[in-house]
Amino acid sequence: MKRLLAILFLIAGTGAMGQSSDVFGSLKKKLTGSGSSSNLSSDEIVSGLKQALTLGAQKSGDKLSAVDGFFKDKAVKILLPEQAQKVESTLRSLGMGKLVDDAILSMNRAAEDASKSAAPIFVNAIKTMTVTDGLKILQGSDTAATGYLRHATTPDLTQAFRPHIDSALEKTGATKYWKDVFQTYNSLPTTFNKVDPDLSSYVTQRAINGVFYYVAQEEKAIRKDPAAQVTDLLKKVFGGKS
């Protein structure tokens, strides 16, 4: 779900781009009552944090699930697994590069399709965030929210992604291409180590990793830059002076 899912914490647009402030640091001061805006309740502050993360999650989900959301992004593009790189080089050297290219494209299309289900899972995890969770995130490292969401959502993401990946791999032909690639490679007389990785599990894990890669990037960004204040609650929570 990227700037993912993939989720991501940057709210649609960026406000006050010329300024630099620690938004989470400001919220932490308000939440602990050490800032001049401590008239805000803990519930209001955590609600603002939840709203920011929710809007970011929805935006990032749209980004990663779009056509080429994975395929044309070098940071998250899914390539053949490490153990299959010899397979790729061998097939390309034999003039079978298109077979490999088709397999790679299909894997990324599967990840893009599966990423459509990421945002609702993140949103559900965000909704169940407690005041204590929010304070830990505000006081934590620059990827504390990423860690929280990874812990809270990975099982659900895997369960949700897997059928999408299975279906998309079949629909886009990746399973066929993958089978063709390895049947071709394994039939070569020079092949001693046969390769038979689980394509669906591999793509599912890489898709989830791609989402969390951008979760971390966006969390770091929101800790440094002002969040776009697109709702009254966000204006109240993020807009007040710390």
Tell me whether residue 41 is in a domain. Answer: yes
% of the chain exceeding 70 in pLDDT? 68
Look at residue 49 and tell me whether its pLDDT is greater than 60: yes
**Rounded to whole angstroms, how far apart are CA atoms 16 and 14?**
7
Higher pLDDT, 209 or 200: 209
Q: Is 11 exposed, middle or buried (0-12, 13-18, 19+ CB in 10 A)?
A: buried
- 240 in Cβ contact with 29 (< 8 Å): no
**Averaged pLDDT for residues 118-147:** 84
Tell me whether residue 123 is in a domain. Answer: yes
User: What integer pLDDT is reported at residue 69 of this predicted model?
Assistant: 95
Tell me whether residue 8 is in a domain. Answer: no
- One-letter amino acid at 121 equals I
**Averaged pLDDT for residues 196-215:** 83
Least confident residue range of 114-128, 167-181, 219-233? 219-233
Single out the residue of 175, 163, 207, 205 nearest to residue 103, CA to CA.
175
User: What integer pLDDT is reported at residue 242 of this predicted model?
Assistant: 44
**How many structural domains is the chain composed of?**
1
Q: What is the CA radius of gyration of the chain?
A: 21
Look at residue 230 and tell me whether its pLDDT is greater than 60: no
Tell me whether residue 158 is in a domain. Answer: yes
Tell me whether residue 102 is in a domain. Answer: yes
Tell me whether residue 7 is in a domain. Answer: no
User: What integer pLDDT is reported at residue 24 of this predicted model?
Assistant: 61
Tell me whether residue 107 is in a domain. Answer: yes
> pTM, whole model, 2 decimals?
0.71
Look at residue 182 and tell me whether its pLDDT is greater than 80: no
| Residue range of the domain that includes 133 | 23-239
| DSSP category for residue 15 | S
Return the beta strands (E) in the chain as ranges: none
Tell me whether residue 15 is in a domain. Answer: no
Query: CB count, 10 Å around CB of 34?
Result: 10
- 14 in Cβ contact with 225 (< 8 Å): yes
Give the pLDDT band of residue 234 (cuts 50, 70, 90).
low
